[in-house]
A = this chain, B = another copy of it.
Amino acid sequence: MASMQDCITDCLDCHSVCLSTILHCLHKGGEHAAPDHIRLMQDCAQICIASADFMLRSSPVHQMTCRICAGVREMCAEDCTRLADGETMVLCAETCRRCAQSCSEMAAAERKAA
């Protein structure tokens, strides 16, 4: 079970990895640079920061951002796995998956607490 601090760290890591992977994908071109894939990673990078920030402020609604986060990152992890032809994409997929997991625990914990 991830602590909130772990989840914040996972979100910031995932944000960083997604942002730098976007550049990698644009350089590769082809399916990696498909608008839907780039957009999904942009969505993922942004929702990661929002989710981290809501937790850093101990916001009572952070479970809502964590729930979205978990969903977006699960999609991003799948998309990166599909395109995984080297360590950059594999790392991005793994980071997204770990982050999806801890955000989804955070969202569930909050529902119980509420």
- Report A's interface with B, CB cutoff 8 A: 8, 12, 16, 19-20, 22-23, 26-27, 29, 33-35, 38-40, 42-43, 46-47, 49-50, 52-54, 56-59, 61, 64-65, 68, 71-72, 75
Sample of 14 further A-B pairs with CB below 8 A, known A23-B57, A26-B38: A16-B52, A16-B56, A19-B56, A19-B57, A22-B42, A23-B58, A26-B35, A40-B59, A42-B57, A43-B59, A46-B54, A50-B50, A61-B68, A65-B68
Copies in the complex: 4
6 A-B contacts, Cβ less than 8 Å apart?
A22-B42, A26-B34, A26-B38, A40-B59, A47-B50, A65-B68
